[in-house]
Each structure stands twice: as structure tokens, then as C-alpha cells.
């Protein structure tokens, strides 16, 4: 049995989300380490909220990074085996790189705070937008975006599963693309309540700020291969990893291809490492082969641990 770990990004956060893992000293120590680096009490923010505070991009990104790394460390401390592959959805790619020892948690938590602020600053409020297109092929979504652009930017931002593609760009172009997508047969086209058009061409200014920050951070060759979002590739060279993280900010998250790549490399189980079960659902809809599980609380962590130990014995 070959298994992989995947790390969630924005959208999986909730007030009190770490309470599901019980009183874990490993998890608490991870939050203390991240808080010390950032100069802000992430544990209190996570535990007390309010939800509106957690939903702010500049808070969500460091919180979800820390949560994913904390659950990974809890898994290792409990005797969990190291997976053959890793990946993360958008922000989750940073969690994967920390778990794979390519980035330190102290550096990564500051990087994602800067990334979040840069993304927020890149586009004036109300200028950009995002929408989820349901039930339409990637080719037809691309056609709708191309026809809707009219001199503005709009395109695929998250290729989440065969029936769910998120688009992003200028607000007007996104609205036009939604109407065109519905005329082409989309079941639904839902505007998303986000603060910026993530993973769109409008994020290039944010990417340049991120490039400068990454140049000042130590990046190492991952000890576990990480499949990246932008190329669906396993990179070992630190310079290439930096460049891929920069391009990821303004390029689509190719999640369907990531899951297919894992399956093609013999992965039979994909485990979501962190709060929530968003990626577990996406994995199930992307490929029929690999089993999808989640370490969403202490009970599921123990269950997957026992299952993995039994199969690896």
C-alpha cells in the first residue's frame, strides 16, 4: 500500500477547529512556535475567534499552515509512517513543504502572512471576484472565460474536481463568464465571498512581492517529494521550488491533475492532513482509484494510524 498526504488551504478554517484533536502537547507546541515567529497568538485566535477574524486572509493563511503542520507532527509523534508523496491545495502547498523539511515553520508562517497581505493589496476592493462553476467541463469553462474577458482578466483559478472549477479575475468579467457558463450548460455559477481574485493574472503584483521575500528564505530539497500546484511536478532544486511558489500565486491550482498524478504513481490512499474534510471530498470526485481519508480529529487520526500500521506490517 502506497499512501500520500495532502494539506488543505483556505476554506477549512473554523473557530475551535483544533479542539477536535484533544489536548495534544505536540499540536500546542507547534502553535507556540508559529506564534513566536509571527509575534501573534495564533492559538488564542484559533480557539476564540470570532469567525470573522479567522476569515481574514492575513489570518487564515498562517492559521491553516500551522494547523496542517501541527497535525502532521501529531501523526509522526504517534508513530505514523512517512508517505510516499505530498501535495497541498494552494496555501496547503506551504504546509506540505514544511512537512517535507523544505521550509522551516518559522519562515513559512511569515511568508504566508506576507503572501496574504500582498494578495489583498494587489487588487482594490470590489475590483476582482471569484465564482464556482459547477457541472461544466474545463474546456467549456475556458471558452466562457475567453468570450467574457472583453479586455479584462478572467480564467480558471482552481481546477478542483471534474464538476467544480473556480474562476477568478476582474469582477465584471467573472460575472459575464458566469452567464456564459450557464448558457453553455453549467448547472450553477456561484459568486464566492472572497476578498481578492486569488490565482488569477491580477495577482502578479503579489507574486513579485512574494519573489523578493522567498529570495531571503532558506529552501531545501524536500525529504518527501511534493507535487506542486502550478506544474503538477516534483521539484528538488530550491530555486525551482521558489519559482513555482511565485508562479502559483497567479496560476491555477491543478488539483484534478495532482490527484491523477498520485494515482498514476501507484498511490492507493490519499490522506488529508488538517482540519476539515474538503480535500477528501475533492479526491473522491477526481479519481475512483485511491481511497480518500482525513485526519480531521483525534479519532480519525488513530483510525488511519492503526489501518496504516496494519497494512505496512
Query: Which among 89, 95, 104, 199 is annotated as catalytic?
Result: 199
Reading the block at residue 226, the C-alpha cell is 511534493
Please tell me whether residue 225 adopts helix, strand or coil conformation.
coil
3-state secondary structure of 293: strand
Catalytic residue among 12, 24, 37, 90: 90
Contacts of 98 (CB under 8 A, 6+ apart): 65, 69, 104, 105, 108
Query: Distance (Å, rounded) from C-alpha 302 to C-alpha 55?
Result: 29
Confirm whether 170 is a catalytic residue.
no
- CA neighbor of 304 nearest in space, from 59, 7, 78: 78
Cell numbers found for residue 241: 521550488
Give yes or no for a contact between 207 and 247, defined as CB atoms under 8 angstroms apart.
yes
- CA distance to 41, 83, 148, 267, per residue, from 86 (Å): 28, 7, 36, 11
Which residues are CB-contacts of 45 (< 8 A; sequence separation ≥ 6)? 53, 54, 59, 63
Taking the CA atoms of residue 150, residue 151, residue 152 and residue 154 in that order, the dihedral angle to the nearest 10 degrees is 60
> Is 89 among the residues known to form the active site?
no
What is the sign of the dihedral through the CA atoms of 99, 228, 209 and 273? negative
Q: Which cell numbers in the block locate residue 80?
A: 505514523
Catalytic residues, which ones? 90, 199
Amino acid at each position: 500500500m502506497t499512501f500520500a498526504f495532502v494539506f488543505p488551504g483556505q476554506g477549512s478554517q473554523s473557530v475551535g477547529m483544533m479542539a477536535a484533536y484533544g489536548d495534544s502537547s505536540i499540536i500546542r507546541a507547534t502553535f507556540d512556535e508559529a506564534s513566536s515567529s509571527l509575534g501573534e497568538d495564533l492559538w488564542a485566535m484559533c480557539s476564540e475567534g470570532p469567525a470573522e477574524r479567522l476569515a481574514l486572509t492575513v489570518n487564515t493563511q498562517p492559521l491553516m499552515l500551522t494547523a496542517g503542520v501541527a497535525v502532521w507532527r501529531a501523526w509522526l509523534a504517534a508513530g505514523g509512517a512517512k508517505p510516499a508523496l505530498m501535495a497541498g491545495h494552494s496555501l496547503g502547498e506551504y504546509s506540505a513543504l514544511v512537512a517535507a523539511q523544505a521550509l522551516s515553520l518559522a519562515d513559512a508562517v511569515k511568508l504566508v502572512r506576507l503572501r496574504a497581505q500582498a494578495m489583498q493589496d494587489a487588487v482594490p476592493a470590489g475590483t476582482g471576484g471569484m465564482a464556482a462553476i459547477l457541472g461544466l467541463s474545463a474546456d467549456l469553462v475556458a471558452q466562457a472565460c475567453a468570450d467574457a474577458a472583453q479586455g479584462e482578466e478572467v480564467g480558471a483559478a482552481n481546477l478542483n474536481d471534474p464538476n467544480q472549477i473556480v474562476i477568478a479575475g476582474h469582477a465584471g468579467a467573472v460575472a459575464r463568464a458566469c452567464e456564459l457558463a450557464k448558457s453553455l450548460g453549467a448547472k450553477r455559477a456561484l459568486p464566492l465571498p472572497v476578498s481578492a481574485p486569488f490565482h488569477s493574472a491580477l495577482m502578479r503584483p503579489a507574486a513579485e512581492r512574494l519573489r523578493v521575500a522567498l529570495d531571503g528564505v532558506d529552501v531545501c530539497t524536500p525529504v518527501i517529494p511534493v507535487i506542486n500546484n502550478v506544474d503538477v511536478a516534483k521539484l528538488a532544486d530550491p530555486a525551482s521550488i521558489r519559482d513555482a511558489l511565485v508562479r502559483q500565486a497567479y496560476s491555477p491550482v491543478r488539483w484534478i491533475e495532482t490527484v491523477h498524478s498520485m494515482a498514476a504513481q501507484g498511490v492507493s490512499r490519499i490522506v488529508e492532513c488538517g482540519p476539515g474534510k474538503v480535500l477528501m471530498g475533492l479526491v473522491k470526485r477526481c479519481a475512483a482509484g485511491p481511497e480518500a481519508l482525513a485526519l480531521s480529529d483525534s479519532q480519525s487520526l488513530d483510525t488511519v494510524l492503526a489501518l496504516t500500521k496494519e497494512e505496512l506490517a
